[in-house]
Each structure stands twice: as structure tokens, then as C-alpha cells.
């Protein structure tokens, strides 16, 4: 079956991320981490499905993770999506993951979506923007979570090095359609080096640091494959995108553009700076026609025109080629977040219960919560607003659950207070426990009178009776 609109989709599901320890483990790869009781991978997949993209390639790092993801996919999306799982060895980075699937890529453009994206930004809009500009790459940027860390009071001193790593420096043209400069988190230095050439071509550059790379890219396939041949690239976000942005006015990647598969794309890579086309060339080739039709792009201040004329001006280097790097900024009303840290995990879960509850697909009851009908609640137990309690869970007497997610088949004793926490599946919590602002992985046993505050508890851990923990990651040795 032909891919719709000549777009193929690759979802990079990752493996067992270090950043998310102790929550993820060999038993629970990142892709299956429950967010609001649904595996993380289901969010990008459902987003794609909503856009009628049903043929999806999922790349998973590591054998075990791949097996687990595959078995989950085969059950959950058996008759809905046509998902192909490709596994890669660990630590090859996103570029390595794309290299692994390169033989499968046949369509004109490739949409690469990160598996940890939780968003309702339409991938179609990104793809359409990409097509409209005939860009080499189009990246989705969203407003960075304004105070992702600082806002949630619980995480005061925890995110030591996180603040700087979040901020990307992005340079935009005045119309906010083209990406002129990008430095991603880890590589931000004290000084910003901007190419004069680009600034001269555009006239004006807007530099922002409050946009976040959402890790959704539309690549032209030929560009992508050319880039993959280069050595020492590891990550799309940190290496490939900056590379393409850097070289957009002196493109090296378009040497082999003449192949037939590229016919339907009319990117700037093909705009030949040939002069007097109407007069000199006898029978214009398809390319020149493209150029002719693109040539008339109006809006004289727009970037492309200057691009072209920039080519024209430097007649000394007629072979100079360019490609376009575009940006799609998601709207203010749209939710967009990446689950790439423990912090983000907590934030996203809370958002799913609150402002972004539309993404989850649950219908909230009058009390603004979701309680599965099979949940057994004891006397005087209350489930407050913004709660999700999944099936088979048994709550004892006088419990109180507020702003929390509780997974499947948990047994919770009497007089337990769970506030602002995420409790995964098959967890036993005995009487008189207090859990605040914590994440508790599956199969944890919490014995009576324990008190947890701002802790992350790894799978299978046993918390002894009466113990108190505060702001600690707890893992089974």
C-alpha cells in the first residue's frame, strides 16, 4: 500500500533510558512506561492514527525492549495499525536508529517522531508545512514548558543541571517559518556564533531561547540518506539538525539530487541559479520549469527570494546550492511535551489529569476523575478530583486519593493517603501509609505506616514498615 501523501513515519521509541531510572528497567522499557495508565508509546501512535497514518515503523533499542514492545503492539493495535518493529543495539543514538531503518524508507518524505512525545499537535500540519515550502527538513518546536521545574513546588533543589540543558537557542526569520540557527541544549556555550552569511541573506534574525525541540521532524528522504552517510553523527537533534541548518546556504548534500525519486519534490535544492531561462535554454527541463514556477514566489522580504537572488549575485560560484530548513511552531493552545526525565514524567502525568486531559481519551466524571467500575472502595474512602484509578484496584476504608494516578490491581489498605503521586500496577500498600509527590513503580510493596515524599521507587522494591523517605530514588539492589 502506498504511504499516504508520500510520507512514511518512523517512531523512535528508545530503549531503557538512563535519565528515567529508576522508573524504567529491563522489564519496563521506556516506551511502555504508563502515563495516565496508558503506555507512553500509545500517545504518539494515537496521534498518528488520528492523522490517518496507519503504517508506522517503530525503532526500539535493545532486544528485550523490542520484544516487549512488539508483543504489546500486537495486542493493542492488532487490527488498527500496521506497525513494524525494528530493533537496534543500544547506544547508537537516533541517527543509528534511522540508519537501521534506512532500507525501508521509500517515500519522498519521512516523518520522524519521538516515541516520548505527548502532544496534540497535528503531524499533518508539520508535513503540510514541509511540503508547502519544499523544505529539506522541517522541525516542530513548541513553547518550552514555562516553568516546568520551578512550578511544581516539590522539586526545588533537585534539577541542578536541568535548567540549562532544557534551553535551546533558536534563530528564526521574521516570518517565523525558517530555521536559521539552532543550538541544542547540551552544546550551548557562553557565546552564540551566528553565521554572517545567513544573517545577511535574511536581514533580520529573531533569537529565542524559549522554544523546545519537540523531536518531530519531516525530512526529505534524499537529504536524510545523504546525511546518514556522514560519520560522527549521533543524534538528530544535536548533530543532524544543526548541521543542516548550518549548511543551508552552501548545501553539500544535494549532489545526488538528480535521481528520479526526487521528482515530486521541488525544494530549493533544485533551484538552479540559471539566468535568462526564457531566452537561452531551448527546451527547458522539468527542473527549470520548477524553478520558473518557484521563481515567482512573491513577498519580496521573504527568505527564499533573497535566497535565490543571493545565488544570483554570487555568479562566481554558480554551483552553489541551498536547501531550506523550516520550522513549525505549535500553537499556544496545543499541548506538547516530551517525557525525557523523571521530572517530566511527573509533570506530564499531572497535565494529563488536568489541563491536557483531552489527550488521554478518558471521559472524566462529574467529580473530574476517572474511576473504573471494577474498583472497590471501602467505607469513607474518597477519590478526589483529577484522579485516575484503573480496574481491579481495591481501596480500603478511610482512604483519600487526590490528584493521583493509580494503576491496575493495586491493593491499598485502610487510612492511606495518596496525594500528587503516580502508583503503577500491582502494588500493595498497607494501612496508614502516606504517599506524597512520589512515583511508585510496579510490584512495589509498601508496608504499614510508611511515609514517602517526593521519592521514585523502582520496580519490585519493598519499603519496610514505618520507614520514612524524602526526595530519594529507591531501587532494588
Partner 1 sequence: MDLRRPNRPVIGPKVRQVGFVTPDSAAATSSSSIPAVSAAAATSAGSPPSSLSPVMIPPPRHPSTEMSNPHFHPVGSYNPSEQILGSPPALSPSRSSRFDADGSDFGGDDDESVALSGVGGGMTPKSSLLMRQPVTKTAPLVSETRKRDSNVSKGKGEGPSAAPKEKLTKAERRATQEAQRAAKAAAKEAAAAGGAPSVSKQPKPATKPATQQKKDVPSGSGPLQPLAPSGSIEKKQGKKEVAAPHPRMQFDDMTKVGKLKKRAVVNQSEARNRVELFRHLPQYEHGTQLPDLESKFFQLDLIHPSVYQVGLQFLSDKISGGNARCIAMLLAFKEVIQDYTTPPEKTLTRDLGAKVGSCVSFLIECRPLSVSMGNAIRFLKNRISSLPHNLSDKEAKSRLQSDIDRFINEKIIIASKAIVEHGVSKIRDGDVLLTYGSPSVVESIFAYAHGIKKNFRVVVVDSRPKHEGQGLLRRLVERGIHCTYTHLNAVSYVMHEVTRVFLGASSVLSNGTVYSRVGTACVAMVAHAFRVPVLVCCEAYKFHERVQLDSICSNELGDPDAISKVSGWKDLNYLDGWAQNENIQLLNLKYDATPSDYVSVLVTEQGMLPPTSVPVIIREYGIERLWT
Give the binding site for partner 1 (CB under 8 A).
4-7, 51-53, 108, 122-125, 127-129, 131-134, 263-264, 276, 278-279, 283-284, 286, 289-290, 292-301, 305, 309, 312-313
CB of 249 to partner 1, least distance (A): 17
Strands (DSSP E) contained in 74-164 are: 82-88, 109-114, 117-119, 137-143
CB of 121 to partner 1, least distance (A): 9
Nearer to partner 1, 159 or 305 (CB): 305
Strands lying side by side in the sheet with 445-446: 376-377, 394-395, 411-412, 428-429, 445-446, 462-463
CA distances from 424 to 60, 196, 442 (A): 23, 52, 5
CB of 199 to partner 1, least distance (A): 18
Nearer to partner 1, 210 or 275 (CB): 275
Nearer to partner 1, 121 or 340 (CB): 121
Instruction: Kindly give, in sequence order, each residue whose CB lies less than 8 Å from that of residue 278, ignoring residues fewer than 6 positions away.
Output: none
CB of 214 to partner 1, least distance (A): 16
Nearer to partner 1, 283 or 379 (CB): 283
Nearer to partner 1, 310 or 430 (CB): 310
Give the pairing of strands 394-395 and 411-412.
parallel
How big is the CA angle at 221 (ends 216 and 226), to the nearest 5 degrees? 110
Residue 247 DSSP symbol: T
CB of 300 to partner 1, least distance (A): 4
Nearer to partner 1, 289 or 462 (CB): 289
CB of 179 to partner 1, least distance (A): 17
CA atoms of 138 and 475, how far apart (whole Å)? 40
CA atoms of 370 and 404, how far apart (whole Å)? 11
Rounded to the nearest 10°, the torsion over CA 230, 236, 238, 242 is 70
Q: Smallest Cα–Cα separation from 193: which of 245, 234, 268?
A: 245
CB of 130 to partner 1, least distance (A): 9
Nearer to partner 1, 49 or 431 (CB): 49
Amino acid at each position: 500500500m502506498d504511504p499516504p501523501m508520500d510520507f512514511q513515519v518512523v517512531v523512535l521509541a528508545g530503549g531503557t533510558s538512563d535519565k528515567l531510572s529508576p522508573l524504567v528497567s529491563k522489564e519496563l522499557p521506556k516506551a511502555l512506561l504508563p502515563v495516565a495508565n496508558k503506555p507512553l508509546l500509545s500517545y504518539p501512535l494515537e496521534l498518528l492514527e488520528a492523522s490517518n497514518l496507519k503504517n508506522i515503523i517503530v525503532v526500539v533499542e535493545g532486544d528485550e525492549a523490542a520484544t516487549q514492545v512488539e508483543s504489546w503492539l500486537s495486542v493493542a493495535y492488532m487490527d488498527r495499525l500496521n506497525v513494524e518493529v525494528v530493533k537496534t543495539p543500544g547506544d547508537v543514538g537516533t541517527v543509528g536508529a534511522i540508519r537501521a531503518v534506512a532500507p525501508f524508507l521509500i517515500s519522498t518524505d519521512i516523518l520522524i517522531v519521538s516515541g516520548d512525545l505527548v502532544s496534540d499537535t497535528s503531524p499533518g500540519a508539520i508535513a503540510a508545512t514541509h511540503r508547502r515550502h519544499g523544505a529539506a527538513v522541517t522541525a516542530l518546536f513548541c513553547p518550552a514548558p514555562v516553568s516546568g521545574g520551578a512550578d511544581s513546588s516539590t522539586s526545588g533543589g533537585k534539577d541542578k543541571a536541568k535548567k540549562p540543558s532544557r534551553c535551546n537557542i533558536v534563530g528564526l526569520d521574521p516570518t517565523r517559518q525558517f530555521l536559521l540557527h539552532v543550538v541544542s541544549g547540551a552544546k550551548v556555550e557562553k557565546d552564540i556564533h551566528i553565521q554572517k552569511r545567513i544573517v545577511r541573506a535574511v536581514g533580520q534574525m529573531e533569537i529565542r531561547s524559549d522554544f523546545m525541540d519537540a523531536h518531530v521532524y519531516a525530512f526529505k528522504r534524499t537529504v536524510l540518506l545523504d546525511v546518514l552517510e556522514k560519520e560522527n553523527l549521533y543524534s538528530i537533534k544535536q548533530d543532524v539538525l544543526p548541521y543542516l541548518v548550518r549548511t543551508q546556504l552552501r548545501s553539500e548534500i544535494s549532489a545526488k539530487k538528480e535521481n528520479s525519486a526526487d521528482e515530486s519534490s521541488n525544494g530549493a535544492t533544485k533551484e538552479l541559479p540559471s539566468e535568462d531561462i526564457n531566452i537561452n535554454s531551448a527546451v527547458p527541463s522539468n527542473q527549470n520549469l520548477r524553478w520558473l514556477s518557484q521563481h515567482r514566489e512573491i513577498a519580496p522580504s521573504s527568505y527564499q527570494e533573497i535566497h535565490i537572488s543571493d545565488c544570483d549575485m554570487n555568479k562566481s560560484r554558480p554551483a552553489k546550492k541551498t536547501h531550506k530548513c523550516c520550522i513549525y511552531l505549535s500553537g499556544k493552545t496545543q499541548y506538547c511535551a516530551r517525557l525525557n526525565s523523571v521530572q517530566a514524567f511527573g509533570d506530564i502525568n499531572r497535565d494529563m489529569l488536568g489541563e491536557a486531559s483531552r489527550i488521554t481519551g478518558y471521559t472524566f466524571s462529574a467529580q473530574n476523575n476517572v474511576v473504573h467500575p471494577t474498583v472497590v472502595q471501602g467505607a469513607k474512602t474518597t477519590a478526589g478530583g483529577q484522579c485516575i484509578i484503573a480496574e481491579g484496584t481495591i481501596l480500603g476504608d478511610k482512604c483519600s486519593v487526590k490528584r493521583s494516578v493509580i494503576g491496575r490491581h493495586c491493593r491499598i489498605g485502610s487510612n492511606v493517603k495518596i496525594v500528587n503521586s503516580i502508583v503503577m500496577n500491582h502494588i500493595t500498600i498497607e494501612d496508614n501509609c502516606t504517599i506524597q509527590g512520589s512515583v511508585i513503580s510496579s510490584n512495589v510493596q509498601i508496608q504499614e505506616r510508611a511515609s514517602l515524599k517526593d521519592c521514585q521507587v523502582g520496580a519490585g522494591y519493598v519499603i519496610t514498615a514505618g520507614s520514612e523517605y524524602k526526595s530519594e530514588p529507591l531501587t532494588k539492589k
